[in-house]
Structure 1
């Protein structure tokens, strides 16, 4: 029994508590401010500092603050207090706001810090891209850089880019298609000659951007955009109308038309003079090749189409025209052309021109069997092209400049030596290791494997459907 203790006012009985015997005294848990705190802190039963307009605790923990209840006085007969819940009407405050044009700034950073250093140094580089001129369209630039990032990611995985194929790339694909749709909207506005992006002067630029991105993403829509580009030029009034654009705009439009010209339909749409005007306009093309070589390739293609589709053209006429093209190509001096155009300091430029000249010879012999002669034998041209490719392949960094001659060599090797096919396959494998050209080299490697597996040797049999190898 506890011992009584006498005090001045009486006596009291004290006894040792169980809590004191077991350890420190138990402290009462803090009760939340159920009426004055924010709704987020109330729900979590934690202390709220009641900062306005948002709770400081929610800000520190990066949580969306649900705000406070606002008491609205009422003059009703019952004189009750109506509590208005601000959560229903209050807009959620974003605590981590993305700055304006953030994707554009990120695209510029990727272009400067990653894309430019990955370019080749053995060829003259174009001027650094400017981001405050008419030629720069932010939505197109963002979409292009995102597609480049997707291509690099797919190259590291060794697989072709496919939407939905890799869950890790799902956010990148979603952002790519978001800006792709925006670019389609800008293109349609420009075709209708309205909007703030340049009207009809911008339309061809946008169509070419869509065309290039379809090639990078290995999408089949590139043919539709290619044909749409030529149709739009016809709608404007032909090449003469494009040349009549304001000087600040025509250079970019002609540059875009130049890339489209080198594809399928452009070779039969324009005359030699018009093609020369387009090719020689603006900056030196990559790779720097004389316009006469492209004109000769276009001439061989036109003759090939006539030989395959027209019965009214005599075989002798086709042979004479083919021999005329071959003679012009033989008269071309690569070293003299490089010096004349200020490219003498780049020795690999002259070697690249020589490879294209021999590849054009070989293409003419493959595409026009009836035009083969003793002066330009197929076997000799094939051996010479493989010798030139083998001498330069290990010296260059940007193998994409030799992709078209490599395609011609692969078709010629279909009925040649097995070592030649092995060399072409190794070149495709080496080129596919490049992040910048993974899609292009992988696409061409698959096509060449298909040609060799089917045993095709004629050019018409190898490419029965449009095939693009160079963007």
Structure 2
């Protein structure tokens, strides 16, 4: 079927340097092939068996015409397929379908993307990250040394050329999305948006290819690739996809032996931190009937490595003890929606115990435990304490677990006024403002109770925050809250009628993975 190495070499020599043949795999992926024999370097680096340069198309490949990708909902033996479209995901392993998406037949046009264009895009992304994104993240060091904030070096640039396509294009998606949102105009440049979706399509296609390889699908880099797409989708406003990304990561972790087994890998630390934080904070703004992984999160609390939730990171600054209470609230909300749920009295007792622990939290003690900028840490503690108390009361009142008493209404109003005052100061700080999206959302839910000035404050700050941090997330929050305020409803679950996630995280640290794809 394929030409032998000798005949392929003769064929190339006879036709001159301008007629070098691309191997069938590079042709299928619309990449420039180096035409090395007996197999090209791109295939060898990607861990793919090079199909050669023959005149006849190899039948062992499922051929897709260059410039067009065909994605179908199919179950295949001994394969694992990841699809992301309209909020659906396919994860199939062995003969068993773990998750089955809706049946669809989608054609996504992907233009040819030559190597020189790829290198140029990486260089532009490298320069943009250091001059814009990194510059905005530097103030985070004011809160203490942050291992996840650093400029890109030549070492990172060289690694980017050889890293898997899903990481490469996923990071380019993040950079383009940041640029689109920092422009801050109603209609962003068409060319920039088109490039975003081009890279997004290339990243998804690459992920599908790797998940089809038994020796690649469970690697750290694959999880990093899905997380990168997750954050890119959230950042660009495609928040409907976030749950299928998380579900894919969770199932891959289970296939690798579970969370504790995966946590043994040092390179997985920032990935698990991101995964855990997005899952927990995302559950706070989801309907109680559609929460994700709450039982697992509750069961692992006493074993969860402290560095995953106490390290200063570009994800969230929620103090560890309050973060634990958020997990417990999420779990309680889930339990109430079960068909055979226990009596209201038991749930109510657990609710007030959680609220009491939140009220007993000491922001000043938190600040004293930090080595630098204790005033900022006190401010962080006060903001998140008020936000956690509001989330506890409002979300559990929405399920009729906590009664709606005048005393609790006064307590919520007091927390709301305090939060607004604190947020004015926090949002003026370059080191704190990107962590204030979730507290602003919580304040927005409280503002439905008749405070027009508070609603105006939340809407204004969310609009400005979107352009400042280069993310569409604050604008999504503004839209959701605006619809809630206009609806005439007041309950927490009426605001978040489907899953949302409000995070300021735009990328995940993959520097620990570089040795894996050299």
TM-score under structure 2 length normalisation: 0.63
Question: Residue 318 of structure 1 aligns with which residue?
Answer: 347
Judging changes above 3 Å, is the alpha-carbon distance between structure 1 residues 359 and 378 closer, same or farther for their aligned structure 2 residues?
A: farther
Asked whether 1:334 is paired with 2:363, we answer yes
Is this contact kept in 2: 1:214–1:222, CA < 8 A? yes
2:44 counterpart residue number = none
1:202 corresponds to: 221
Give the corresponding residue for 2:14.
none
Counterpart residue number, 1:259: 277
Partner of 2:176: 149
Report whether the alignment pairs 1:242 with 2:262. yes
**Number of the residue aligned with 2:324:** 295
Residue segments in structure 2 that go unaligned for 5+ positions in a row: 1-16, 18-114, 284-291, 506-518
TM-score (norm 1): 0.68
Change (3 A) 1:428 1:100: closer
Q: Quick check: 1:329–1:357 contact (8 Å CA) kept in 2? A: yes
Contact 1:192/1:200, CA 8 A, preserved across alignment: no
1:371 alignment partner, SS class: coil
Please name the residue that 1:351 is paired with: 379
The structure having more radius of gyration, on CA atoms, is 1
The aligned counterpart of 2:125 is 107
Query: Does structure 2 retain, via aligned residues, the 8 Å contact 1:192–1:199?
Result: no
Give the conservation status (yes or no) of the 8 Å contact 2:379–2:422: no
Moved over 6 A (4+): 133-136, 373-376
SS in 2 for 1:466: coil
Q: CA RMSD in A?
A: 3.4
- 1:117 — aligned with what? 135
Q: CA deviation at 1:203?
A: 1.8
1:270 aligns with 2:297: yes
The 3-state SS of whatever aligns with 1:347 is helix
Q: 1:339 to 1:129 in 2, by over 3 A?
A: farther
Residue pair 1:358, 1:384 contacting (<8 A) in 2 also = yes
Per the alignment, residue 361 of structure 1 pairs with 389
What is the CA distance between 1:194 and its match in structure 2?
A: 5.7
Of 242, 248, 252 in structure 2, the residue corresponding to residue 222 of structure 1 is: 242
- How many aligned positions are there? 366
- 5+ residue gaps, structure 1: 1-52, 54-96, 160-164
Q: Superposition pairs for residues 3-402 of structure 1, below 5 Å?
A: 98=116, 101-119=119-137, 121=139, 123-124=143-144, 125=146, 126-129=148-151, 132=155, 137=163, 139=165, 140-141=167-168, 143-159=170-186, 168-170=189-191, 172-192=192-212, 200-219=219-238, 220-244=240-264, 246-247=265-266, 249-262=267-280, 263-264=282-283, 265-274=292-301, 277=304, 280-281=307-308, 283-285=311-313, 286-342=315-371, 344-369=372-397, 370-372=401-403, 377-394=408-425, 395-397=428-430, 398-402=432-436
